[in-house]
Structure 1
Amino acid sequence: MQRKVFSSKVYRHKTVLVSGGCSGIGRALALRFAQAGARLVILDLDQAALDSLVQHLEQHLNVEALGLRCDVADAAAVNAAAALAIERFGGIDVLINNAGITHRSLFVDTDLRVFQRVMAVNFYGALHCTQAALPSLLARRGQIVVLSSLTGFAPLLYRSAYNASKHALHGLFDTLRLELDGTGVSVTLACPGFTATDLRKNALLGDGSLIRQPARVLGSAVASPGDVAEAIYQGALRRKRLLVLSNVNWRARILARWFPRLFERLLVPRLSGLKPERR
């Protein structure tokens, strides 16, 4: 994707909070909004990565940044982090719900605690961050950006918990958008496809342990985090409602919606990768 260069700092004096902001799409989004002049609040679990990214933002992009170690599944921790961000910068203008984890296992082999952990991070993490930031977003007529996935509208095999969490995000934030109508706060759901991030490299197995190798995806190009972040940034500028950035593009969404059996037969096996071994 060819990047657009802006001479003006579109988000100057705006505060952008990014969850899961130290790697992958989250890091790329933090850098992109920093280039547009934003002040950054970054939530992540990796303290060393937080320190490194904050130093990079301050020294190389000359922006103010605050890195906070925070598990978004912990509502109290999220509330405390949001309070620190508001104390430091006066408020939150853009919330980017990016933090997420995945798994790769057959439903029959997936422990309940894997479902609980995936939902805790992917769904409740976004819920916690949004509840904590919403008063400030309302006061500033801000923006909410939610990282969903192509699985938000079409299923992939061996990812039942992940698929469920993304569908839940659409149910929550499509409803919230309606409730916020007239407040000046926009809600953007972004649905990237396969992207070269640690999400795919560090998936959970059915027993909750980590598989530290990416699932093989057949016949599908893998996007770079920078290109995905640029597309989301451009959508945020326009306060778009839905961004479908999937590598299998809009045709897959139409096929999944109107011809589900054909989609399931032709595309789902190819996109889902190899079947996990039974444990």
Structure 2
Amino acid sequence: MTTITNKVIWITGASGGIGEALAIQFAALGAKVVLSARREDALEQVRLKMNNADSHLCLPLDITDTSACETALTAIKAQYGHVDWLINNAGLSQRALIVDTTIETDRRLFEVDFFAQLQLTRIALDTLVAQKGKIVFVSSVAGLVGTQYRGSYSAAKAALHMWGNSLRAELGDTGLTVANVFPGFVKTDVSINALTGDGKPLGEMDNAQANAMSAQEFAQKTLAALLKDKNYIVVGGFKERLAAWVSRFSPELLYKMIRKSKVR
């Protein structure tokens, strides 16, 4: 079992939902958590909920801004000296059919869900390798199966997964570990903020999202798997876990299942 007491863990997308729940769980186990997202006030609210609140750091950040990411890493090193874990959790979802989605929206999804994650990882890579640390990419079950209304989101999350696999293959001998986490439906604001075809937020919660597992349950299951050094972690309800399993062993059957499903 890996221990995280006094580990410095940097979490993006930490102002709510999955990121907030993970931060609280990590803090409860004695980690020093760096919280990043765009809204400083929301980050502070999360920090105040955490054990030993004064030992954690809020760093407002737009992960698509390379200069800001470099400045953030400098601030973390000034505070703690290094980073042990990087949790690439920030992301943006989609709720639009492919035929209704503009190329500008496609590019925005890839910028946030793929390119920005890669660049932040590269920026932090030296300190993570030096610490024999861990990088966690929060992908999605949608990135394993490809579903309606999430064409570019699914593609970006799949790309993130594959890039993480390549990073593991290239740097595994250094002691760095790389984990991919695949959430199913989790009750967060992800669908409210999801982009429609013209790039505007959907502005409402999906039924599947509203009836899904809590972010706290997701965080507990994810953290338990990470502490056991699992690197391929699917967390979701029965249907999502079944789809992930079928995607690995029978893609043709998966396609039939997806076609019949009512995903929105």
**What TM bracket, shorter-length normalisation?**
over 0.9
Q: 1:255 Cα deviation (Å)?
A: 2.3
- Distance in 1 between the 2:170 and 2:146 partners? 28
Between stretches 245-254 and 47-56, larger displacement belongs to: 245-254
- Give 1:212's aligned residue: 203
Matched, 1:265 2:261: no
Matched, 1:200 2:191: yes
- Distance in 1 between the 2:190 and 2:259 partners? 20
Q: Secondary structure at the match of 1:180?
A: helix
- Give 2:137's aligned residue: 146
Matched, 1:133 2:124: yes
What RMSD over aligned residues (CA atoms) do the two structures have, in Å? 2.1
- Give 1:37's aligned residue: 30
TM-score when normalising by structure 2: 0.93
- Give 1:11's aligned residue: 4
Q: Does structure 1 conserve the Cα–Cα contact (< 8 Å) formed by 2:181 and 2:232?
A: yes
Q: Does structure 2 conserve the Cα–Cα contact (< 8 Å) formed by 1:34 and 1:63?
A: no
- Give 2:229's aligned residue: 239
Q: Does structure 2 conserve the Cα–Cα contact (< 8 Å) formed by 1:217 and 1:271?
A: no
In structure 2, relative to structure 1, the CA distance for the partners of 1:204 and 1:62 (3 Å cut) is: closer
Give a deviation string over 1:130-187, Cα, whole Å, max 9, x none. 1121111111111111101111210110111100111110111000001112211111
Match of 1:184 among 172, 175, 193: 175
Between stretches 122-131 and 137-146, larger displacement belongs to: 122-131
Q: Which structure 2 residues correspond to residues 104-123 of structure 1 after superposition, within 5 A?
A: 104-123=95-114
- Give 1:71's aligned residue: 62
In structure 2, relative to structure 1, the CA distance for the partners of 1:41 and 1:258 (3 Å cut) is: same
Matched, 1:223 2:216: no
Q: Identity of aligned pairs, percent?
A: 32
- Give 1:24's aligned residue: 17
Structure 2 residue runs of 5 or longer lacking an equivalent are none
Q: Does structure 1 conserve the Cα–Cα contact (< 8 Å) formed by 2:27 and 2:33?
A: yes
Between stretches 185-194 and 62-71, larger displacement belongs to: 62-71
Q: Secondary structure at the match of 2:135?
A: strand
Q: 1:217 Cα deviation (Å)?
A: 3.4
Letter of the 2:230 partner, please give it.
K
Give a deviation string over 1:72-128, Cα, whole Å, max 9, x none. 111111111111111111100010000001111111111112111111111122112
TM-score when normalising by structure 1: 0.88
In structure 2, relative to structure 1, the CA distance for the partners of 1:10 and 1:255 (3 Å cut) is: closer
Q: Does structure 2 conserve the Cα–Cα contact (< 8 Å) formed by 1:100 and 1:122?
A: yes
Q: 1:251 Cα deviation (Å)?
A: 2.9
